[in-house]
Amino acid sequence: PSLGRVVLTGAAGALGRVLRPRLRPRCTLLRVSDIAAMEPPASGEEVVEAALQDRPAVAGLLQGMDAVVHLGGLSTEHPFDAILQANILGTYNVYEAARRHGVKRIVYASSNHVTGFYRQDQVIDATLPARPDGYYGLSKAFGEDLARFYFDRYGIESVCLRIGSSFPEPKDRRMLATWLSYDDLERLVLASLTAPVVGHSIVYGLSDNKASWWDNTPARHLGFRPQDSSEPFRAAREAAQPVLDRDDPAVIYQGGAFVRMGPFE
Ligand code: 15L
């Protein structure tokens, strides 16, 4: 069955470029958006340049659509004012547009940095309190709470994806735990768009890695079953980084290097 009329924000970003061609054949219409230049529209697509801070533009983007995959915004740590505009105000504008235009489901790209100050020797699940590791992580925690409010108050369903590290390969030893392959990312987004009932759900986005810090049992209802694993990359990544400094906060905490970014002034 078709996914219907779907908006993809952040379409020019790293994961937007991965998901765009994978979503397109499954949609009646895929409307893609970013502030950066995008590939011209393929058949079944519309391309709309829109800044997430621009409320009327975001309202127009969601008009007549069924669902949103919201990847747009800053995807790494930045000074607070930049995060405030792109992530906090931007995500508010997306939910407000969904309310005004009757969009029923949003798949929200949250991040593992919502819980980046849990330790790497702990296994956590999404029912534990947030422990953001910076302004970026704080903005994603806000987005998850915003999603919960719009579900409780207006019945708009969300799946908040606490994405680990989604790259072609795990780049370092930390990513042996946090890696999400592109094929598993696609499975996760499809499960989030098609599960019959999601309410307000939070799920960690990770592949079937042998060692990991995240237990997705509370999100079993999504039916996400990762098929890939970081294990084939282990020997090479361990050889490249044979010694870990166990006093380094980036080694102690799940957020890795994000936990020691800033202050910015
Ligand atoms: C994120 O949230 C970032 O968007 C991404 O660039 C990675 O750094 C990832 O987290 C990670 O934790 O590896």
In whole angstroms, give the CA distance from residue 251 to residue 96: 39
Burial of 36 (0-12, 13-18, 19+ CB in 10 A): exposed
Per-residue pLDDT tens over the stretch 133-180? 999 999 999 999 999 999 999 999 999 999 999 999 999 999 999 999
CA 2 to centroid of ligand 1, rounded, Å: 30
Q: Is the CB of 230 under 6 A from ligand 1?
A: no
pLDDT value of position 245 = 98
In whole angstroms, give the CA distance from residue 20 to residue 174: 28
For CA atoms 253, 255, 256, 259, the dihedral sign is negative
Q: Is the CB of 110 under 6 A from ligand 1?
A: no
Instruction: Single out the catalytic residue among 136, 150, 204, 253.
Output: 136
Q: Is the CB of 76 under 6 A from ligand 1?
A: yes
What's the gap between Cα 44 and its chain centre? Answer: 24
Q: Is the CB of 75 under 6 A from ligand 1?
A: yes
The dihedrals phi and psi of 187, each to the nearest 5 degrees, come to -60, -40
Helix (H) or strand (E) holding 157: strand 157-163
Residue 1 has pLDDT above 90, yes or no: no
Residue 21: pLDDT band with limits 50, 70, 90: very high
CA 8 to centroid of ligand 1, rounded, Å: 19
C-alpha distances out from residue 251 to 90, 96, 243, 246, Å: 32, 39, 11, 6
DSSP state of 205: E
In whole angstroms, give the CA distance from residue 174 to residue 212: 10
pLDDT value of position 26 = 98
Per-residue pLDDT tens over the stretch 124-133? 999 999 999 9
Per DSSP, helices labelled H in 80-134 are 80-83, 90-101
Domains of the chain: 5-260 (3.40.50.720)
Q: Evaluate whether 140 touches 158 at the Cβ level (below 8 Å).
A: no
Per-residue pLDDT tens over the stretch 66-123? 999 999 999 999 999 999 999 999 999 999 999 999 999 999 999 999 999 999 999 9
User: What is the DSSP pairing of strand 45-49 with strand 200-205?
Assistant: unpaired
Per-residue pLDDT tens over the stretch 43-79? 999 999 999 999 999 999 999 999 999 999 999 999 9
CA 154 to centroid of ligand 1, rounded, Å: 31
Is residue 204 part of the annotated active site? The answer reads no
Q: Is the CB of 165 under 6 A from ligand 1?
A: yes
CA 232 to centroid of ligand 1, rounded, Å: 21
Task: Record the pTM.
Answer: 0.98
